[in-house]
Structure 1
Amino acid sequence: MGKSKFNAIYNDLSEKIHDQLIKAGALLPTENELSEQYHASRETIRKALAMLSRNGYIQKVQGKGSIVLDVTRQNFPISGLTSFRELANHSKDKWKTKVHQLVLLKSDEHLRMLMNLTADQAVWKVIRSRSVNNEAVILDKDYLIQSIVPMLTADNCERSLYDYIEHELGLRIGFAKKEITVEHATAEDQRYLTLNRDTQVVVVRSLVYLENAELFQYTESRHRADKFRFVDFARREHQ
């Protein structure tokens, strides 16, 4: 009940912010007020607010409260390991995934160096585009080590790779090392993305590891720059 309750509160508040029923720059009600409004415990309210903060809807300011942020662009968290499906489920917009390529191939020299593979190790290559409002705005290129992920189908890739890996294969995804750059759009970007006049894309490259620190995936996620705001939450550790 608790999990569904804070998710319901998160969804209600995020929709109101998305629809600008709660304006950017406004303060959310206090935890006590939200607790009364939603008939929920303060712990449940804190969980909903923490999710709003992680996903870029609010900024908590000590002594003031929770300030609503501008969400006219899609929020894409750069820390954490959230699948695209999980992000889309928390978005009011209707997202669609299209699988363009799913092949098993021998790793080339670049992948062998990047993923520390031997010459005989095979990898799955998956190319997917993500569309919203009939515009393809993300191009995902994934490489997964076959010895760890023995089988993949287009249906697995369209639904959610991480859901399949964790719930069907029983593996536990641990952490990722990420690099973010802004680059000129390639011919491949032009082919799969709705770029209009855009000449640059934001590229997030990730090496993804299981909980036992075993590398299993390299992914290159290419985003149309005008459609996203990359968000993170960082806390200073005081000595």
Structure 2
Amino acid sequence: MIDRQSPVPVYFQIEQYIEHLIEAEDLKEGDRIPSEKEFTEQFQVSRMTIRQAVMDLVSQGILIRLKGKGTFVSERKKIEKPLTGLNGFTQEMESRGLKPDSRLLDFKLSVPSKKIAAKLALDVGQNIFEIKRTRLADGLPMAIETSFIPSGLVPELTAEKANQSLYDYIEKECGLVIDHAEQTLEASIVTAREAKLLEVPKVSPVLLIERVSYLKSGEPFEFTKSLYRADRYKFIIRLPNA
């Protein structure tokens, strides 16, 4: 319970108490937690203190708030994504028995920035298709993905085709052979707009992946920036003994 003599802030002690209830399965996935009023009476603290504890757990993805219904223990099961092998989002979700989908946010022909031109080894004057999508699995937003592809490689690409599996389109319709990719992974924080698209609280943590994908010829064909929900993804890498 609450130790008012402890140097640990009261709101954080309440966070730990709620987490303990979840770990002990006194509160299970989908369970509604007590209301602010109930917690206030239980701990004899202000509603502001309770709200701070609850919102911290919401921002970590441990709890989820549903407007007009209350606050619930969120589903903690994460998708395990190996950092080996090259698959598109569609293939990844289908391999796990999930239904992939996309919401096309932007599709345009544009002039690449210096960074993107360098990533794709483009000369001055070469344009790119810029495709921004929210990627979903079983209807739940999982990631925001922005892809940059040289327009010369896929001149007949349309918004409709771009909102499907790009890898399938490139290999099956364009006859190109995808070979490998190089990518980086780092932690980041969502902007207000990104939080809305991913349906997560503001300043929620995300996993940022930047990837350059190459054809069998060695030519880079795609530069992608993806923001994955940290509460839904776990990345795994196998480390052989050197």
**Partners in 1 of 2:174 and 2:182 — Cα distance?**
22
2:121 corresponds to 1:125: no
> Could you tell me whether the CA contact under 8 Å between 2:93 and 2:137 is conserved in 1?
no
Match of 1:192 in 2: 197
Deviation at 1:195, TM superposition (A): 1.4
Match of 1:210 in 2: 215
Structure 2 counterpart SS, 1:159:
coil
Amino acid across the alignment from 1:132: A
2:161 corresponds to 1:156: yes
Amino acid across the alignment from 2:128: V
2:82 corresponds to 1:72: no
**Partners in 2 of 1:115 and 1:96 — Cα distance?**
27
Deviation at 1:115, TM superposition (A): 2.5
Match of 2:180 in 1: 175
When the two chains are superposed, the root-mean-square deviation of aligned CA atoms in Å is 1.9
Deviation at 1:183, TM superposition (A): 0.9
> Could you tell me whether the CA contact under 8 Å between 1:106 and 1:119 is conserved in 2?
no
Deviation at 1:133, TM superposition (A): 4.7
**Partners in 2 of 1:109 and 1:206 — Cα distance?**
16
Cα separation, partners in 2 of 1:118 and 1:138, compared to 1, 3 Å: same
Q: How many residues align?
A: 167
> Could you tell me whether the CA contact under 8 Å between 1:142 and 1:219 is conserved in 2?
yes
- Identity of aligned pairs, percent? 25
2:150 corresponds to 1:145: yes
Amino acid across the alignment from 2:162: C
Match of 1:165 in 2: 170
> Could you tell me whether the CA contact under 8 Å between 2:192 and 2:202 is conserved in 1?
no
1:119-154 CA-to-partner distances (Å, cap 9, x unmatched) read 201000000111235431200100001112222122
Match of 1:233 in 2: 238
Amino acid across the alignment from 2:177: R
Amino acid across the alignment from 2:134: S
Amino acid across the alignment from 1:135: L
> Could you tell me whether the CA contact under 8 Å between 1:103 and 1:125 is conserved in 2?
yes
2:227 corresponds to 1:222: yes
Q: Which moved more, 1:139-148 or 1:152-161?
A: 152-161
Match of 1:136 in 2: 141
- Please give the residue correspondences for 1:6-155 in structure 2 after superposition, counting only pairs within 5 Å: 72-155=77-160
Which TM-score applies when normalising by structure 1? 0.64
Structure 1 counterpart SS, 2:163:
helix
Amino acid across the alignment from 1:117: L
**Partners in 2 of 1:175 and 1:132 — Cα distance?**
24
Amino acid across the alignment from 2:241: R
Which TM-score applies when normalising by structure 2? 0.64
1:64-119 CA-to-partner distances (Å, cap 9, x unmatched) read xxxxxxx9211222221111111111223333211111111111223223333222
